[in-house]
Structure 1
Amino acid sequence: MPMLRGFLVLVLFFILGESVRLLLALPVSGGVLGMVVITFTLMVKGSVSDDLARASQGLISVLVLLIMPGVVGVFFTADQFSGQWLAVAAALLAGTFLSVLTTLLLMKAVTARGVSDHE
């Protein structure tokens, strides 16, 4: 039952993100908006419930399956990118670099905060 409550929280934030996207006609997916809202909510709250942590851990183990639809979509529309290989390659490289850099900076901040909290 705890995992079900965690999934319910995740679905509610997804629905909230989709609602915001539709109401404001934003060109961003509802899932991304929902993740932003849940991130800020958890930052304000300061902790993650056991239910949400358990459901999230279950999703992390099947993360590849969550990414697969996007990969398949790119595969079937690859001919539209045939003349744009340089732009696509630059976007992939820049996006990967920025993701790694953001993760590094975030981990440094979190670990530094954790060390100062334990002293």
Structure 2
Amino acid sequence: MSMLRGFLVLVLFFILGESMRVLFALPVSGGVLGMVVITFTLMVKGNVSDELASASQGLISVLVLLIMPGVVGVFFTADQFSGQWLAVATALLVGTFLSVLTTLLLMQLVTARGDGDGE
């Protein structure tokens, strides 16, 4: 039952993000807006509930299935990218490098704060 409550919270933030996208005519996915809102909400709250944590863990285990529609979409529109292979490859490499670098810097920041707490 707790996983269901956590999933309901995730769905509500998704709906909130979609509502914001439609209301303000933003060119961003409603899911992304919902993730931004839930991130700020959790930052203000200061912790994650057990229900939300268990629902998130359940979704992480099937993350490949959540990514699959985008991969299928690229497969069916691959002919549009035929003359743009250099731009696509550069974007993939730079994007991957920046995401790994950002993760590294955030982990260093978080572990430095954890060491300074005296735990």
Provide the residue aligned with 2:74 in structure 1: 74
Runs of 4+ in 1 over 3 A off after TM superposition: none
Count the aligned residue pairs.
119
Provide the residue aligned with 1:10 in structure 2: 10
Deviation at 1:78? 0.2
- 2:84 counterpart of 1:84: yes
Provide the residue aligned with 1:27 in structure 2: 27
Moved more, 54-63 or 109-118: 109-118
The TM-score, its normalising length taken from structure 1, stands at: 0.97
- Distance across 1 between alignment mates of 2:42 and 2:14: 15
The TM-score, its normalising length taken from structure 2, stands at: 0.97
Deviation at 1:118? 3.1
Return 5+ residue gaps in structure 2 as ranges.
Answer: none
Provide the residue aligned with 2:37 in structure 1: 37
Which residue identity lines up with residue 79 of structure 1 in the other structure? D
- Distance across 1 between alignment mates of 2:40 and 2:101: 21
1:13-37: CA deviation from partner (whole Å, max 9, x where unpaired): 0000000111111111000000011
Provide the residue aligned with 1:111 in structure 2: 111
Deviation at 1:116? 1.2
